[in-house]
Amino acid sequence: MGQWIVILALALVGQFVSDLISFPIPKTIIASIILFLLLEFKVVKADYFKEALASCKKHLAFLFLPVGVGIMTQLKSEPAMVYVKVLIIMIISTILIMLVTGVLADIIIGAQEKILGNKDKKEGKNE
C-alpha cells in the first residue's frame, strides 16, 4: 500500500511541477525523472516498488488505453490526418528502434569478443 502512496505522491509532484513551469512537459515524464533521481541517489530502493510494479505489469495493456485516447484527443486535425500522423510516427519510431538496437547489439558483441579474445590469449600463454 505504501508503494502506491509514493507513486501517487510522485504523480502529484509531477503535476505540481508541470503546472509551475509553463513548459509543455507531461507530468508523467516529470514524475518519472523525479523517481529516477530518487532511485539514483538511493533515497528509495528499487526493491521497495516490487509489488506495485508486478501489479502494473499484470495490467499493462489496460494502462496504455488512456495514453492512446489522450493522443487521439490531443491531435485536433481531421480524423484522416490523425491516422496518417500516427502511422508516420509509428514507422519512424520502429525504424529508430531497429537502428538503435542493431548498433547497440554490434557494440555489445564487439566488446564481448574483445573481452573473450583477450581472455583466450591470456589462457593460451599460461599453457
Q: For residue range 76-105, what is the model confidence (pLDDT) as tens digits?
A: 656 677 778 888 999 999 999 999 999 999
Burial of 27 (0-12, 13-18, 19+ CB in 10 A): middle
Q: Do 89 and 48 share a domain, yes or no?
A: no
Question: Residue 36 and residue 14: Cα distance in Å, rounded?
Answer: 13
- Where residue 61 falls among pLDDT bands split at 50, 70, 90? confident
**How is residue 42 annotated by DSSP?**
T
**Cα of 2 vs its chain's centroid, Å:** 23
Asked if residue 16 and residue 49 are part of one domain, the reply reads yes
- Name every residue whose Cβ is closer than 8 Å to that of residue 111 and which is 6 or more positions away in sequence: none
Torsion angle (degrees, nearest 10) of CA 83, 89, 90, 93: 180
Same domain, 1 and 53: yes
What's the domain count of the chain? 2
* C-alpha count within 13 angstroms, C-beta hemisphere, residue 52: 12
Q: Are residues 81 and 39 in the same domain?
A: no
Q: What is the pLDDT of residue 24?
A: 77
> pLDDT for 7-46, tens place per residue?
999 999 989 988 888 777 888 888 899 999 999 998 988 8
Compute the average pLDDT of residues 34-62: 87
Domain residue limits at 15: 1-58
